[in-house]
Chain A
Amino acid sequence: MAFRVNKIVWQLLRRNISQSQMIGYAVANLVGLIIVLTAIQFYQDVKSMQGNDDAFISARYIVISKRVQGLGSLLGPRAEFSQEEVSEIAAQPWAEEVGTFTASAFSVYASVELASKYMSTALFFESIPDEFFDVKPSDWTFDPAGSTMIPIIIPKDYLALYNFGFAASKGLPQISEEMVQMIPINIRIGDNFRHQAFTGRIVGFSSRLNTIAVPELFMQWANAQYATTPIAMPSRLIVKAHDPGDKAMIDYIENHEYEIAGNALNSGKIMAMLSLVTVIVVVVGIVISLLAFFILLLSIHLLLQKNREKLRNLMLLGYTSAEVARYYHLLVASINATVLIVALIVVSVVRLWWLNILQTIGEPQGGMSLTIMLSILAMILITTFNLNSISRHTRDTLSKK
């Protein structure tokens, strides 16, 4: 028989429903759900920001160097990695891939004309293997036969150093990343006897590559052509880690007195902390939701006890327990649906507030679709449990003769 709401039955059954218990359930469930959803959404938003502070190299890459000790470089061994040390690191379980920085063994002079002021400086280049780039900058290549253009990546900090330190004190204009990328840099490599001129162009900024990076192809070619000093062992390594917050990795690096460049490790630690906090908050939310669930069960149980005589009389008229239970199903399903909608509204409003704060330190990406999907899934699950236990309780209440 198709189910239709019989007003009289509803009028009869609704009489003993405790409004305060239902509100108590709804509020507790709402609080639990909001906590869970807020935590999940916040985690996603923060995580989405973490990915985009460096377009080229992801957070899984860390740069390791040896600590330079006092006068060590003058008296003792230089801060370089031997072939054995590199292989040992590559063999560590936390290391997925290890690449070496290749330094230029030739002289580099760069000059630039900016706001009719002419600046020139001695420079150095380094390169890392191409496969360590997540996203290769456009034109990240070099053809020794034809091109005179060298793509360059510089650390983000250099631009900040110029803009907020140098330019400010010298009365020079501040420049944006886009502008820097348009400035041609005159580059001369080699010595006074044998040299070659190129045009350098900054194609990107990295917060993880703390060096002036050029394509490896160019480095190999230039080192072969213009090396004036023997090609040194690498002093820096780039490691693709399985998990940048890995305790074993941090311990290893500390034990060997290596150093990690930049804040890659910190951000890994922060993400690990954030994950932990998120898990704790989600668990608290789930516990609250579970308590709410038990409030509901208790409340329904009491209600059925109070209505027991009525339910039996309905059964004697020919109603089935399923037909009777459906009125409570309808009640609980509508409460749950309301809770879901209110929780999503609350989370999206609260999200606006934290998005404002997060936007001052980066651009969060992605929307709420995962949270919405998860919440709907959770609510379907909760409601299914609710309805099942109502059906069971109703049957139990009525089957006692």
Chain B
Amino acid sequence: MERINNISLKGLLPRVFAQNQDAGRNRASDVWLGNVTFERGQRYMITAESGSGKSSLCSYLYGHRNDYEGVVSFDDSDISAFDSNHWSKLRREHISLLPQEMRLFPELTVMENIELKNSLTNYKSTQEIETMLARLEIEDKKSELVGLLSIGQQQRVAIVRALCQPMDYLLLDEPVSHLDERANRLVASLVEEEITKQQSALIVTSVGNPLLIKAQAMKL
């Protein structure tokens, strides 16, 4: 499958907003009800108040939810036509998502959580994974159960996991909400390096603690 170069949104709106008739807020958004294209190689920082639907946006782009109105297309294909096997392929080779709630498995160790993804893609070597953990200063936690880590540490594990695959688009939903500025910069440099290397697009959301990376600002 070719790389995805454009993700375009036409008149996209979560169904729940359409029912609320909250017209004023929807019109003020750069994304909802607009005509937006995310190009590969670009970086987008979507700032939003909580409840404005940023996690919904990430879920739509990741094929996890489809409770929206409007059309989302990858290049020229309407994603509502994709079946679950197609989405599996996309999630292994084209789109990576770091969900806000991280969705790690607390009963597995840090390394096992990452291996769970990496064994699907065989994208990173153990050495590379360990280097990434080291750069985020959690290498000493690699054999610990994720359930025993702090939220900030879990967030960094989830970031490493999200980078263990080939990707055209990297979706990070509030990736640094529990990290201090120092850790934020470490994450930003790791992400920067990976998306540059892979020539991917970055779509990152924030409700107040933005990832410290240069990106085109959009308001949701």
A residues neighboring B (CB under 8 Å)? 6, 8-9, 11-12, 15, 310, 313-321, 395, 398-399, 401
Chain A residues, CB < 8 A from B91: 316-318
Cα distance, A316 to B117, chains bound together (Å): 10
B85 touches A316 (CB 8 A): no
Q: Which 4 A-B pairs have the closest CB atoms?
A: A318-B91, A318-B92, A320-B88, A313-B103
Distance (whole angstroms) from the CB of B169 to the closest CB of chain A:
14
B88 touches A315 (CB 8 A): yes
Question: Which of B60-68, B132-140, B204-212 lines the interface with chain A?
Answer: B60-68
Cα distance, A317 to B119, chains bound together (Å): 11
Would you give 9 A-B contacts (Cβ < 8 Å), ordered by A? A316-B91, A316-B97, A317-B91, A317-B117, A317-B120, A318-B165, A320-B88, A395-B84, A401-B66
Q: How many chain-B residues does the 8 Å CB contact rule pick out?
A: 25
Question: Which of B26-34, B41-49, B105-113, B147-155 lines the interface with chain A?
Answer: B105-113
Q: Which of chain A's residues has its CB closest to B95's CB?
A: A318
Chain B residues, CB < 8 A from A398: 84
A318 touches B120 (CB 8 A): yes
B residues neighboring A (CB under 8 Å)? 62, 64-67, 84-85, 88-89, 91-92, 97, 99, 103, 105, 107-108, 112, 115-117, 119-121, 165
B119 touches A320 (CB 8 A): no
A15 touches B107 (CB 8 A): yes
Cα distance, A19 to B165, chains bound together (Å): 36
Cα distance, A313 to B146, chains bound together (Å): 15
Cα distance, A317 to B88, chains bound together (Å): 8
B64 touches A8 (CB 8 A): no
Known contacts A8-B108, A11-B108, A313-B103: A320-B117 contact under CB 8 Å: no
Task: Beyond A8-B116, A310-B105, list 13 extra A-B contacts (CB 8 Å).
Answer: A6-B119, A8-B108, A9-B116, A12-B108, A314-B116, A318-B88, A318-B89, A318-B92, A318-B117, A319-B88, A321-B84, A401-B65, A401-B67
Distance (whole angstroms) from the CB of A252 to the closest CB of chain B:
68
Cα distance, A317 to B99, chains bound together (Å): 11
B116 touches A317 (CB 8 A): yes
Q: Which of chain A's residues has its CB closest to B112's CB?
A: A8
Known contacts A398-B84, A401-B65: A319-B120 contact under CB 8 Å: yes
Cα distance, A12 to B64, chains bound together (Å): 21
Distance (whole angstroms) from the CB of B168 to the closest CB of chain A:
14
Q: Which of chain A's residues has its CB closest to B162's CB?
A: A317
Distance (whole angstroms) from the CB of A202 to the closest CB of chain B:
79
Distance (whole angstroms) from the CB of A174 to the closest CB of chain B:
80
A320 touches B108 (CB 8 A): no
Most buried by B among A316, A319, A395, A399: A316
Chain A residues, CB < 8 A from B67: 401
Cα distance, A259 to B18, chains bound together (Å): 92
Q: Which of chain A's residues has its CB closest to B65's CB?
A: A401
Chain A residues, CB < 8 A from B84: 315, 320-321, 395, 398-399
Q: Which of chain A's residues has its CB closest to B111's CB?
A: A8
B62 touches A12 (CB 8 A): no
Cα distance, A6 to B117, chains bound together (Å): 11
Cα distance, A318 to B85, chains bound together (Å): 9
Cα distance, A33 to B80, chains bound together (Å): 47
B117 touches A313 (CB 8 A): no
A12 touches B107 (CB 8 A): yes
Chain B residues, CB < 8 A from A315: 84, 88
Q: Which of chain A's residues has its CB closest to B116's CB?
A: A8
Cα distance, A395 to B83, chains bound together (Å): 12
B119 touches A8 (CB 8 A): yes
A8 touches B115 (CB 8 A): yes
Most buried by B among A15, A319, A398, A399: A319
Distance (whole angstroms) from the CB of A304 to the closest CB of chain B:
16
Cα distance, A398 to B84, chains bound together (Å): 10
Chain B residues, CB < 8 A from A395: 84
Cα distance, A179 to B91, chains bound together (Å): 87
Distance (whole angstroms) from the CB of B56 to the closest CB of chain A:
12
Cα distance, A201 to B99, chains bound together (Å): 98
Q: Which of B65, B85, B103, B121 contacts A320 (CB 8 A)?
A: B85
Distance (whole angstroms) from the CB of B52 to the closest CB of chain A:
21
